Amino acid sequence: MDALSIICIVGGCLTIITRGPLVFAPITTLRTYDRWFLSTNARMRVFGVVLVALATGLLLLARACCLTFSTPWDGSQQPKRS
């Protein structure tokens, strides 16, 4: 597996784990989310900045993986003429 697939699997597992309390105590969990994350505009802005930073990092990682594992055409791989 490459690094991008590992990051996607870990991110998915973390999402499932952090959403677990919604199954067992949905009202309490949603009330806690409202108090912690949605109480001020500044927290929502910080959450948006963090989300954008993570998305940018994931895109850069995907680009780096594509550039690392592909062979670029540099002219040295020209077919030989007989």
77: Cα separation from own chain's centroid:
36
Q: Is a pLDDT exceeding 80 seen at residue 30?
A: yes
Give the span between the Cα atoms of 23 and 29, in whole angstroms: 9
Q: Give the model's confidence band at 78: pLDDT under 50 very low, under 70 low, under 90 confident, else very high.
A: low
- pLDDT tens digits, 52-74: 999 999 888 888 776 666 555 55
Question: What is the average per-residue pLDDT within 33-52?
Answer: 81
pTM value is 0.41
